[in-house]
Structure formats: structure tokens, C-alpha cells
Amino acid sequence: MNIFKAIILGIAQGLTEFLPVSSSGHLAVTQSLLNVPEDKVLFLTVMLHFGTLISVFFIYSKDIFNIVLEYLKMTVELLTGRGLKFDNEYRKLGLYIMIATIPTGLMGFFFGDVFESFYTSQLIIGVALMITGTLLWFAEKVHSGKRNIHNMKWLDAVIVGIFQGMAITPGISRSGSTIVGSLLRGFNKELATKFSFLISIPAILGATAFEVKDALSLGLGDLTSGILVAGILSAFLSGVFAIRALINFIKKEKLYYFSFYTWGIGGIIVILSLVK
């Protein structure tokens, strides 16, 4: 492992984590092309996820700050006997992020082994990529509704959380599936995009915490602080670029562009898996 390979892996992780093309498959392919064994780079992979998480905090720092601030105020209100009040945008947004995390977490906990077994099937990954493309195409045809955070309901958060849980399947894009789920619930484009990225925070944190123990048990190998910093920084910068790019694609109703890519890649993988 060297700094150049870490930067390439970071760019691959940052771009595909947020662009709706499925990060897991692309990172695995990139590792293979760079001839980097997975067990030798597991800790770096975990740190790359951390880098992409920083990019969400960077883009949505104002929203995150206001959510935390409102929940601190709620704590004070609760301790002083004024009860719980979800009476503004950021309190509701924080509540719905927590609700959306529940079905995602339950799906990962109860079906994690099943989803993990899919990584050994190129056919499943290829089909999943084609499903991602179909979801993106369908979402573009549905367009968006006019619902904002003020008329969002708890059921909306549960459904979007289920869409996020589906993305544990390799080949199903997390950002793509959650945005599709949000648009199907009639969210406006701003809320659909914002909610998709904000609910990625507990999802990525949970996945990172779950993986870090196994990663450390395998050791750091030849990883140095310079390699780790280079990988995290490249994941962060490419993540910022990917988030901004996706926001732009959604605003211009060009989300279906990614359908052609995932259909093409998925189709090639399916064909190759069938002719082996």
C-alpha cells in the first residue's frame, strides 16, 4: 500500500458513496485493479468511510448545528418540566432522522449475514445495479412533490429508512434508494436530497463502528499515518464534490443519467457471471 493507491481508493469511495452508483462494488473493483488484498486494507476502508462522513458534516454543517442546538434546548425544557415539543423544522428533522435509522438498523442486524453473502455472487450484484438504475429512472419520471418538513409524517421516515436498509445489498445505491424513496413519498427536491444525506450520518457511523473492531484485529499492516491522511482527505474532497454534483443533477432533473451507467455496468456483470 502506498499514498497513490490510498488516494485512488479515497476518490473511488467518496464519489460512489454519494453518487447513486453503489460504493461497495466500485471500491471492491478498484481494490482489485490496484492489486490490494481486502484483508490488507480493511482499516483504510473503514477510515475512508469516515472521510466521506466528514463531507456530509461539511455540506450540511448549518443543519446539523441547528439540529443539535434544538435538541439541547429540548433537553433543558424536559428537565425544567416543560415537556417535549417538536414545534420547529430542526426538531422535526432530528426526530425523523432517528426514526428512519430504526428500520435501517433492524434490517442490518437481522439480515446482515444474508446481505453479506450477496458479495460472493456477481450475478446478484449485477442484478442489483440494474435495479438501482430502474429505481433512478422511475424516480425521474415521478418527479418530486411539494411536501416539506412541516407536513412530513413518521411513516415517511420509516419508509425512507426501509429504502436505506435495502442498500445494504451490494449494488443497490444508498443515496439513490433513499432519494427515490423520498420522492415517492412526495417530498420536494430540497427535502428529498437533504434527508437522504442526513440519514446517512447514523448509517455510516454505525457501519464504521461495527467494522472497526474487525479491522483492528487484522492489524494495520503497512499503513502509515501519511497513507491514512491521504486516503481520508481524498475521500472527503471527492465526497464534497459528489454531494454537490448530485444536488445539481437532481435540481436539473438529470438523475436518470446514472441509470444508463448502472444498467450498463450491471448488464456486463450479469452476462459475465452467466457465461463463466
The answer to whether 9 and 31 are in contact (CB under 8 A) is yes
- For the record, the C-alpha cell of 148 comes out as 416539506
- Look at the block and give the residue holding cell 497513490: 4
Domain membership of residue 42 as a residue range? 3-275
CB atoms within 10 A of CB 262: 28
User: What's the chain's length in residues?
Assistant: 276
CB atoms within 10 A of CB 183: 27
> What pLDDT score does 219 carry?
66
Integer CA distances (angstroms), 51 to 120, 235, 237, in order: 26, 5, 8
- In whole angstroms, what is the distance from residue 166 CA to residue 173 CA? 9
The answer to whether 48 and 28 are in contact (CB under 8 A) is no
> What pLDDT score does 204 carry?
85
DSSP-assigned letter for residue 182: H
> What pLDDT score does 263 carry?
94
| Cα atoms in the 13 Å half-sphere on the side-chain side of 23 | 27
Distance of CA 154 to the CA centre of its chain: 21
What is the mean pLDDT of each successive set of 10 residues along the chain, which is 276 residues long? 87 90 74 70 82 94 95 90 85 95 91 78 87 86 80 94 90 89 89 93 83 69 83 95 92 88 91 84
> What pLDDT score does 240 carry?
96
Number of domains in the chain: 1
| Cα atoms in the 13 Å half-sphere on the side-chain side of 4 | 2
The answer to whether 6 and 228 are in contact (CB under 8 A) is yes
Integer CA distances (angstroms), 111 to 115, 118, 157, in order: 6, 11, 20
